[in-house]
A and B are shown apart, each in its own frame.
Chain A
Amino acid sequence: MARIEGYDFPDDLWYHPPEHLWLHPERAGDEWLITVGVDAVGQDALGEVVYVQLMDAGRVVARGEAVGSLEAEKMVRPVLAPLSGTLSEVNGALMAAPRLLNLHPYDQGWIFRMRARDWEGEREELLHGEERVRAWISAELQAMKERR
């Protein structure tokens, strides 16, 4: 677990910098099942999440396509798919209690699971490994301070 300026970044996860998403890949036969959530910096930047709305499982989505939306502090943001694939499960508990995303971003606050169409190919655009994640988050926090 990397701890960067007070934010936790588990080592076993992959990260999608533009949207501050985390991804947890698991082999399921010859497929990759990916669990997706918002990372610690992302959830802190959002503020208190009060609504989470997601498409139904089974939907085929392209990378970058909106699979739902969330609202915090009267601000609506799309939830974008970090990979292409098929939504296999959405977190009903999170939709019922959106604060789980703030309270437990890396476990109970997961957002959706998807079967990746091309995990090996598309993961090139993700970050993994403490050194790379630490460099990204340090730069990101600095940029956020400058943009305030």
Chain B
Amino acid sequence: MSGPVRLLDLGAAPPLRSQALYHGLAEAMDADSPDTIAILRPASPYFCVGYHQSPRAELDLAWCRENGYPVIQRRIGGGTVYLDADQLFYQCVFHRSRAPFDVASIYRRFLTPPVRALQALGLPATLEAINEIEVGGRRIAGTGGGQIGEAVVVVGNLLLDFPADIMARAWRVPSPEFRRLAEDGLRRHLATLCGTLGQRPSEEQIRRRLVRAYEESLGRSLVPGRLTRLEEAAVRREERKLARLDEAGHGAGRRQARLKVTHRVWVHEWTGRVGEEPGRVTARVADGRIEEMSVAGAVLDREEAERHIGQVRDRAQLDG
């Protein structure tokens, strides 16, 4: 099928709807359903946890509640993200028979248009490591994907602005040093449209660029449409499901002492004993090299501290 793609240009949507939309579209999809791209932004801030994660291991849920941030666990992949009105979502829901089979090709098809849209706005954007959209080596968008029912789903969020302090405060982390290194990592390794362009681009301009880039890249026109009654019911069902957060989720019950800031950047922590003394080494590793390291407790020389970080990093790589 090479007919038009349905465009749902939705403006601002409440947090639950901004996630339930693609879940419901995918659940309702069959081979006769239109392939759909939705463009929207969340009306208010929230956190969103990946399918194989544990919300309570990822986030300080009490802090999120106290500060009015809803937490939603999506059924597609990727990590924990902070989402708000300074981010523009693109959500691609295509029937699996009309999408590539291999994951790398799926991402190439659906993430090349946002890259081209950024380029058209004057940013040197590239698609790196299969699914990371970067500008000058810094990530400027989040990505998640999945197969739900008969649909292949790829979603992303372009960062117009990003509050690193809120994301870092919400993460459940093993130590204050870990949090500091993670927050600094966000500031150094995330890019935003506002920061890179030196001004805020109009949302309408970005939407237009996105639509044009999808049309050119897919070779199909995007035609504004709306949800069918069946799809609307499916989205509402998904809203009800997503509203019931299982705090344990599907992942391990506690955070392991590592955190992915971007695909290039991790924070690792080692704790143990040096003789009788407890010690802790926390490090941010970028492109395989220690960018910043902090040592607490027992006195360790740099070589020994790096060796401990190397060991926890190797173990993390083995575990995936």
The residues of A with any CB-CB pair to B shorter than 8 Å are 44-51, 53, 69, 71-78, 96-99, 143-144, 147-148
Contact = CB atoms under 8 A, between A and B. Distances in A.
Contact of B100 (A50, A53, A97, A147): A147
A126 to B, nearest CB: 19
B76 A73 contact: no
Contacts of A144: 100-102, 105
A143 B102 CA distance: 11
Given A71-B77, A74-B143, 15 more contacts: A45-B101, A46-B102, A50-B52, A50-B320, A69-B51, A72-B103, A74-B79, A76-B76, A76-B145, A76-B147, A144-B100, A144-B101, A147-B99, A148-B105, A148-B108
The 4 closest A-B pairs by CB, nearest first: A45-B102, A51-B52, A50-B320, A75-B145
Nearest to B149: A78
B320 A147 contact: no
Interface string B95-137: 0000111111111110000000000000000000011000000
A51 B251 CA distance: 9
Contacts of A97: 318-320
Interface in B300-320: 318-320
B102 A75 contact: no
Interface residues of B, number: 31
B52 A73 contact: no
B146 interface: yes
B220 interface: no
Given A71-B51, A76-B76, A47 B320 contact: no
Contact of B147 (A48, A73, A78): A78
Contacts of B250: 53, 69
Nearest to A44: B102
B318 A76 contact: no
A75 B147 CA distance: 8
A67 to B, nearest CB: 14
Contact of A49 (B76, B101, B131, B320): B320
B320 A98 contact: yes
Interface string B57-74: 000000000000000000
Contacts of A147: 99-101, 105
Interface string B213-251: 000000000000000000000000000000000000011
A48 B131 CA distance: 13
